[in-house]
Amino acid sequence: MDRMSASIIDGRALSLRLRESLSERIKRLSRRGIVPGLFVLLAGSDPASQSYVNAKEKACREIGIRSFDHRLPEDAAESELLSLISEANADPDVHGILVQLPLPGALDQNRVIGAVDPGKDVDAFHPLNAGRLLLEQDGMRPCTPLGILHALEAYCIPVEGSEVVILGRSSVVGKPLANLLLFRSSLGNATVTVCHSRTRDLGQVTRRADILIAAAGQPGLVTADMVKEGAVVIDVGVHRIEDTRVPGGYRVRGDVDFESVREKASFITPVPGGVGPLTISMLLHNTVVCAERAAGTEKTA
């Protein structure tokens, strides 16, 4: 019998639903005179960072979150960033603070992120939130891992007891995601393996995965021979590939060789339209949670 190709995990459709429910929560806040506010700090002119920040601000506008946009030149002084962050920490109209990474040049990322009020840290990169995550304590959770967990839950993909292999050990994706998947909860309790650039025989490891999550930043790294029949494949990678035949002059692809892997997987996320929109939705979610917390109306869901 011919095998069906994988079902697509539609990040855009999931995001739409998430944003509808956030929109209701924003309306409830506005009835109390509160408009959730997101402070966005972008230093430098990296095109990918600019396009992420534009997409985040557009999503904020569409849903009724006020964004406070601060763009600084490549050679901005660290003291300038720190003073803007300090103002945002103290500003009651700012509920969430986002510093777009990577920061250019000589700026000390740890010092800048460490200056953000952990209660407004919507990216959850502050060491306090990272520590709380490690200890399974309440705190902000990073947006991309949250988006991935949401997709697994929405598509009823069992996590508990499954073999999850993550490609990449960054503090933004791989490590926090591994920790969340280890939580003693229904969306956790997985057996997690984290691979990186020194992992020997990557294919041997990835073929064990019931759920394979690629966040290595290497276009097309995951090919069909590295995937177990019926595995769930989540592609976090985002790469702009120059292509003069398409409008805009580039197309976007992920870490997974989508066409070959979809013939072997049971579920797969596309790029674009998979993890990306979910990441932005979770940023909106975290901002709304911060605003609700400030208003004393936080929901636990």
Annotated catalytic residues are: 56, 100, 123
Closer of 175 and 294 to ligand NAP (Cβ): 175
Q: Does 227 bind ligand NAP (CB under 6 A)?
A: no
Binders of ligand NAP in range 94-133 (CB under 6 A) = none
Calculate the alpha carbon distances from 12 to 24, 35, 83, 272, 275 in Å: 19, 25, 36, 9, 9
CB of 159: closest distance to ligand NAP in angstroms?
Answer: 20
Q: Does 204 bind ligand NAP (CB under 6 A)?
A: no
- Which secondary structure element, helix H or strand E, spans residue 264, and what is its range? none
Measured distance CA(272)–CA(256) in Å, rounded: 12
From 15, 129, 144, 266, residue interacting with ligand NAP (rule: CB under 6 A): 144
Measured distance CA(148)–CA(5) in Å, rounded: 21
Write out the E strands in the chain: 7-8, 37-43, 66-72, 96-99, 163-167, 191-195, 211-214, 232-235, 239-242, 250-253, 267-268
Q: Does 216 bind ligand NAP (CB under 6 A)?
A: yes
CB of 281: closest distance to ligand NAP in angstroms?
Answer: 10
Q: Does 179 bind ligand NAP (CB under 6 A)?
A: no
Per residue in 110-131, is it b (16+ CB within 10 Å) or e — as a string? eebbebbbbbbbbbbbbebbbe
Stretch that binds ligand NAP, among 80-88, 150-158, 167-175, 288-296 (CB under 6 A): 167-175
Q: Does 146 bind ligand NAP (CB under 6 A)?
A: no
CB of 30: closest distance to ligand NAP in angstroms?
Answer: 28
Q: Does 202 bind ligand NAP (CB under 6 A)?
A: yes
Measured distance CA(158)–CA(154) in Å, rounded: 10
Q: Does 269 bind ligand NAP (CB under 6 A)?
A: no
Q: Does 44 bind ligand NAP (CB under 6 A)?
A: no
CB of 184: closest distance to ligand NAP in angstroms?
Answer: 25
CB of 282: closest distance to ligand NAP in angstroms?
Answer: 9
Q: Does 21 bind ligand NAP (CB under 6 A)?
A: no
Per residue in 22-52, is it b (16+ CB within 10 Å) or e — as a string? bbebbeebeeeebebbbbbbbbbebeebeeb
**Maximum pairwise Cα distance, the chain:** 65
Q: Does 275 bind ligand NAP (CB under 6 A)?
A: yes
Q: Does 55 bind ligand NAP (CB under 6 A)?
A: no
**# chain residues binding ligand NAP, by CB under 6 A:** 25
Which residue is nearest to ligand NAP, using beta carbons? 170
